[in-house]
Amino acid sequence: MRPSSSPSDGLPGGLLGGLSGAPDVDAELGDPALLRAMLDVEAALARATADAGVTPPAAADAIVAHCHAGRYDPVALGRAADAAGNPVVPLVRELTAAVPASARPWVHVGATSQDVLDTALTLVAVRAHDPLRRHLDAAVAAAARLAAAHRDTVMVARTLGQQAAPTTFGLKAAGWLTGLADARDRLRQAAAAQPAQLGGAVGTLAAFGPAGPQVAERFAAHLGLPATALPWHTRRQPRLDLAAACGGLLAATGKAALDVGLLAQTEVGEVAEGDAGRGGSSAMPHKRNPVDSVLVTAATRRGPGLVATLFAAAVHEHERAAGAWHAEWEPLLDLLRCAGGAAARCARMLAGLRVHPGRMRENLDAAGGLVLAEAVAARLAPAVGRGVAHDLVARAAAAPAFRAALLADPDIRAHLSEADVDEALDPCRWLGSAGRFVDRALAAARDADG
């Protein structure tokens, strides 16, 4: 079959398509990539059955020679898929017609459509992991640079939407770093564990007789994929592991993106996305919207629904499912696409992030020392007890000027000098182990990369 004049690449297109994925990841997820993977599966099946003496070597060679995606039209195959409920059936029909007559009995021998599509989706996921991993590596490296450069840059920490106590921007970036590195590791593990699938009609490989296990092992080896002890037609744990890993990646990138978006708010102004050519508004000439933060956040909002669909589809009846298996295909590809786009945009966002330490200090000081109330109470507690110290400092915090109220309170001044109060109100003295935690995160990242 000759390709049509306008073959679909299966990638999101039009006005919105470029806003969710990443081109290099999407290239491994579209129709050409899936078609190529399906044909790679058919070629591996031919080689494996020849290895086991099931298929004549000449027939296997002829089948392999015709397993090239350029020979087939994904648009036509997609239209024909409706009749059988999956695209494997029309592909096998086209492949069978293409090979010499002597090889036709051996095309797709012993396999079922689920074997081909499950294994093809495994190949697609594994191949998409390579560019996706590169984006994650870049995001991890960018977060590490921010953590190292701002190890001691003091800022205010916020809890429940309110200013809380001093921290460092380095520690915030170290949190992004650790989350991204953990997500990268889990995705790598999940991708490496995606197995080949070969079970035949009902998972017995009866068509191969006693050679069934050998064919399955050789099949996986030809594809460079792990083999399983028995077919996993109705046990979907590999897909669930991949879905969970992608969901974790979206959570890690989403955490960094949400923080950046909040810190970039006009009233906060502690960071800004770096590319001057991005973030414009159609109505307001002054606007610089944090677009990478926005688009990563959008991907994180889509991810949980896709993960939930894959988990909901994981319960399959008997030996082959009616509908549950079919429900996996598009959500899995969409989830991988969202993960790729989020990783790429997070890397770009962090690499170009402009940090404003002066503004961070202004915001920290704006509350007049209130964010050091915990530090003052901690200094006072050994003398009066923790509960009393808390109440005394809370009383001072309710006054218009916190420092002045502390110094004017005789119950506090009986135990703290003016120098004691000023030391307690120094944010650099109330950072705890922030610097050590940054160092730990950087060391862990170096060990993982080394």
Catalytic residues: 281, 320
Amino acid present at 74: P
Nearest to 362 by CA among 154, 150, 170, 151: 154
How far apart, in whole angstroms, are the C-alpha atoms of residue 336 and residue 339?
5
How far apart, in whole angstroms, are the C-alpha atoms of residue 275 and residue 277?
5
How far apart, in whole angstroms, are the C-alpha atoms of residue 295 and residue 22?
12
Give the chain's length.
450
Q: Is residue 136 exposed (0-12), middle (13-18) or buried (19+ Cβ within 10 Å)?
A: buried
DSSP string over 67-133: --GGGS-HHHHHHHHHHHTSSHHHHHHHHHHHS-GGGGGGTTTT--HHHHHHHHHHHHHHHHHHHHH
Nearest to 198 by CA among 241, 229, 224, 236: 229
Residue with tokens 């460079």: 224
Q: Are 227 and 217 in contact (CB under 8 A)?
A: yes
DSSP 315: B
